[in-house]
Chains A and B, each alone.
Chain A
């Protein structure tokens, strides 16, 4: 199968993104728009895409490398305020890629580029993304969308007035095992999904080595509130986006808390956070991230009335509830051929095997690369997007309100924030 065929097939069968019909009435979520094709601007799909990177730290360099694995992509600009990033990124492009130390100078040359990748600190996303879209560039923006609701709305408005492609970097929208799990959930495999418990637990201090103390806030921006939403934004944005995807809705409100208990080293963002999001219909997402114990790792447990799904960074596994006449298991599942996999005595946790989801070879592979491939394919062909501005906005607003809830220690009504424009 040719590469384009496989991508189109993969995207055509992926689950639908958040749509107006699925969102609560108070939330102005636009229907997914069809992205414009380069062809319409007189550029053939076979032409080389000229790209630039804004924010060439570790994530930016990862994205440059991923895009260079795609046919017809080259990088003609590297922009960062920290000069050592130029040599590091040129080592990845393997050529003397032009460099810029101010994003405004880069955007002055916007006509030299087709598309921009932004991987700057979260607090800078709004300024950078709006300027890039207004400069007429296709934009791949690293997640999350913005640090606050105002920033999310500004980027959304810029994306809607632009005729260019916008994609957010929540790459698990492009993971084959996620897509298949969501397909099965939509088909009723676990009954009605009601609760999601999501974790990203790690055991390391999240601190980058700094060659000089004067660079601490620049290189360790994730640890400081001015530019960072902390663990909820940098790690939890994946889980929150996945919950929006599965529940097909924007959460209504969020409560959260956290603290610094492992690393009292001057950092401002918490080293453990917990947040509870309420979705329409009293459905709930619980998210936890701690960085002092990694036993739980990354996992998303989706609980439904007839079964459960466990999503990890590498696979997905289905579990089916025992069919009992008096239980919440839907009648159609009682009759189905799904073999109950839970058999516990007393109330011990189930520790047996489930049904591992097998991903077709054409949907297998690194979601990060598949996300980058989809971005270039959308630009070239105008096919439908899985992580466009609507998905990005819903995830971004959910994350921004969660950050506010955790920092303030008080519940935040997402519906009110959205209705009041921030």
Chain B
């Protein structure tokens, strides 16, 4: 073993983090208790002295939990990266944390009895369902790093949308769920620590025993198979143990954002070339990271400060980290996919499009005329219709335009990136719009809708500039752009978590918009949205030739004499404007951009022009339908249209992308 094999940087980093953490810990502790009493408080606390009780039963267990959870997440990250052969795999990026969280939230609300049976089992079930979904979604891309991470993000977003639905419908009862979900490490006894120890210990031991076979998994399949290792079993066992670690952590303290990714990636970049080294370095780095982060949070809030969930704070730091990591990891190129797919092709796209168009018209009429009222369901005609229509048409038209624009944006993104999981939601523009709206809402008291809209547009534009600035260095390579978008989206999610955990009522307003409600659309903004949509849709034919060519891949494009970077930039700009305009109406989470193009493709619309028209019609159809269901299903309450579209869209998407 030569000098080059020693992961000096990682060790140094770990030592630095630990030193910082020790300093912060000392500082926090001395605020609570004079140093002369520290030893006594740690081992023989005087129960009569509240300060000693707090140190013994709150401060120290919190410290222990932060170390344990950080180490567990780091270990899980390292194993996931090894097993999936993906330098970006982590508890957050493969959707496992989100799945575990959602399962626990659902159980809390719907079946508390399940929790008595064991939180970890509920979390584990959710984590596995999420992982299975992610793997299924990225299977036909051979689990390539980027497709796994994109699928993971989509699954996380999906779980987040369902979580938002729960909150919107029961908000007063879920405040506690926010605090836990956002990763609050606060402790008031040693129960959680003692609960975590054996569970994490068993999983870590199992991983330790599998070190050798797991190391071999890093080799190419053929190489490992020739050594006589039953790969499948170890791959599955390694995955299972990593997921178990994550599920236990989520069950105990909620979602701790990005510690797993950071620890595993730093272990790798810091010089941990061999898996065995990373297996030790990653947990150490994870523990040091979370320890330092948690002490820093306590330092910032002080002993009586408002609750600031550590998990959400680490997620805030995670996004810039991800951006920094991107150029430093080799991810391998993505193969163009859409052109190679064997999908049905219709010979007569015209008839098919006419049928979808007709269906859209019928649905429009239905959505405008039919609905429940105080006296039950009715079709409104004549005099009755007039007042109802004035409420219904702006919402229906806005939903229609937004659905159409998102579908077109998604179709362009998928052709641009050659990735079936690409959609405007993951480009970060929606998150930027939401961020802008958040700033307006919290910095200006009583910000009206016009101001909020302007702020959202500014946010979308700022996010676009950020993403483009990142992409410029890589000649707008789609993979980099998508990951930059992922990072921005994660940053935004973290902010939302922090806000909701403090119980600020304005967070509810934001959440309502986030989940895509067309409630606030008035005739003016409806007409504006329709006009924007029309302009953009009419500009779309200019892009059609490029969209037909883009899936062929960069070399083919160059040989055809296409200015690759320039084309990508123009397509991206178009996508950004489409996304920003529609996000303002239906919020950032709809999955229309993901779903509609696949639907059109599945129906046999292969070339760019018919696919674009088909996707636009399908997107409009789904969105109008979702808005109608949202307005009527639990009358007089309403479910945001974007949320309905998401709930319908998830299963539909799984079906569309199922392995062929």
Tell me if chain B binds chain A: no
- Which residues of B approach A to under 8 Å, CB–CB? none
- Which residues of A approach B to under 8 Å, CB–CB? none
